[in-house]
Amino acid sequence: MKRAIMKAAVVAAMTGLTAAEAGAADYRHNPFTLTYEGAITKNEPGKVNIHPVTYKLNGLDIAANVYTPANYDPSQKYPAIVVAHPNGGVKEQVAGLYAQRLAEQGYITITADAAYQGASGGQPRNVDMPAYRIEDVHGMADFITRYPGVDVARLGLLGICGGGGYSLAAAKTDKRFESIATLSMFNSGRVRRNGFADSQLDTIQERLKQVSEARAQETAGGEILYAGDANLTDEQIAKLPFEMYRQGYEYYWKTHAHPNSTFKYTMSSLLDLMRWDATDQLELIDQPLLMIAGSKADSLYMSEDAFTKAAGTTDKELFKIEGATHIETYWVPKYVDAAMGKLTPFFARTLASDRS
């Protein structure tokens, strides 16, 4: 997909943002191509630093960023947090923002591009299968628990949007994670199967036939078909039926665009996505669980459903950020601060060195 990354004043005029807010999110002005407001622009002694790294996962090269806290000393022991990015997102966007903010609280954090996506390896591009995304979470844990200074007994997990659903799935069986938090959790399987807000229930079988044909064409060496990507005009975006998608186009294509980020995924991925659900066997989670979502998010029903089904833990909370939509939790300063206001004490308590 071809993107036109607009100058700050133009973006501000189209989205209602101030020029300062829009300009702070231009990846071209950041040496690490980070898109979020307040992003690190250089590593300095005594401050939070960012470390681009690569590692192997099932034979693929995975691109990740590790954030270390101020005055990081590899001979000391630090708690660590894995941060899983949204569907279509990359590590330089909202996942990087929260990874940096958590590093400011004293954690070593990691966020990686999913396999087959972003700057990570894998062909064909933009495969989006739940098993791979869940393995990405395990792989980040594998890498960061071997990172100098990490206390392997104090590992947390934060999943954002689709990464939240995959983080729940990973944490069901990966008990290296002492606690789990989600932000604006998105149940990718339910939405791909039923449509957003369960709006496409009557076309499930028809769509399954289409993706089966796409799989057959792909395996026969034909053209790889893609879904989920469209070069929409502003008028078309305004007519989208759900606010999450309208604001999502603004975030991913304009204000916080990154060349590695795309909504596109292989049509054949839907064979796996449509039979998967983030809430299956959720009672296996027995760790402390914090779920955060905007009170005005049209995706809120997914967090509420998952929270109810997470019956295996009594240490759980669903926190609604008053007035926030799904996408606004990614970047609006007051909503990010509200989310951090819950994440900070949650991880401080559940990853404490003296926790019994």
Q: Could you read off the pLDDT of 82-104 as tens digits, one per residue?
A: 999 999 999 999 999 999 999 99
Q: Which top CATH class is 35-350?
A: alpha beta
Q: Which helix (H) or strand (E) holds 10?
A: helix 8-15
Q: Distance (Å, rounded) from C-alpha 349 to C-alpha 339?
A: 16
Supply the pTM of this predicted model: 0.93
Tell me the pairing of strands 150-160 and 265-266.
unpaired
Q: What is the pLDDT of residues 191-216, one digit of tens each?
A: 999 999 999 999 999 999 999 999 99
Compute the residue count for the chain.
356
Q: How many CB atoms lie within 10 A of CB 140?
A: 27
Q: Which of 8-22, 56-70, 123-137, 272-286 has the lowest mean pLDDT?
A: 8-22
Q: How confident is the model at residue 232 (pLDDT cuts 50, 70, 90)?
A: confident
Please say whether the beta carbons of 142 and 152 come within 8 A.
Answer: no
pLDDT recorded at residue 106 = 98
Nearest to 97, CA basis, from 139, 156, 37, 154: 37
Please say whether the beta carbons of 51 and 68 come within 8 A.
Answer: yes
Q: How many CB atoms lie within 10 A of CB 354?
A: 4
Residue identified by tokens 């000393």 is: 73
Q: Distance (Å, rounded) from C-alpha 302 to C-alpha 310?
A: 12
Extended strands (E) in the chain: 49-57, 60-68, 78-84, 108-112, 150-160, 177-183, 226-227, 265-266, 289-294, 316-321
User: Cis before residue 241, ω within 30 degrees of 0?
Assistant: no
Please say whether the beta carbons of 312 and 282 come within 8 A.
Answer: yes
Q: Distance (Å, rounded) from C-alpha 93 to C-alpha 256?
A: 7
Q: Distance (Å, rounded) from C-alpha 79 to C-alpha 105?
A: 10
pLDDT recorded at residue 260 = 97
Q: Which of 10-19, 231-240, 323-332, 333-342 has the lowest mean pLDDT?
A: 10-19
Q: Which helix (H) or strand (E) holds 95?
A: helix 94-103
Burial track 148-186 (b if 16+ CB lie within 10 A, e otherwise): eebeeebbbbbbbbbbbbbbbbbbbebeebbbbbbbbbb
Tell me the pairing of strands 78-84 and 60-68.
unpaired
Plot region of 277 (φ>0 → left; ψ -120 to 50 → alpha; else → beta): beta
Long-range CB pairs of 24-29 (<8 Å, 24+ gap) are 25/255, 25/256, 25/331, 27/92, 27/257, 27/258, 27/259
pLDDT recorded at residue 355 = 65
Q: What is the pLDDT of residues 109-150, one digit of tens each?
A: 999 999 999 999 999 999 999 999 999 999 999 999 999 999
**Please, how many CA atoms are within 13 Å of residue 233, restricted to the half-sphere of its CB?**
2
Q: How confident is the model at residue 231 (pLDDT cuts 50, 70, 90)?
A: confident
Q: What are the DSSP calls for 287-320, one per residue?
A: S-EEEEEETT-TTHHHHHHHHHH-TT-SSEEEEE
Q: Which two tokens stand for residue 346?
A: 């949650």
Q: Which of 43-47, 80-84, 231-235, 271-275 has the lowest mean pLDDT?
A: 231-235
* Average pLDDT value over all residues in the chain: 92
295 CB contacts (<8 Å, ≥6 apart)?
Answer: 320, 321, 322, 323, 324
Nearest to 159, CA basis, from 148, 170, 144: 170
Tell me the pairing of strands 108-112 and 60-68.
antiparallel
pLDDT at residue 62 is higher than 90: yes
Q: Which of 149-163, 230-244, 267-281 has the lowest mean pLDDT?
A: 230-244
Tell me the pairing of strands 150-160 and 60-68.
unpaired
Mean pLDDT of 335-339: 98
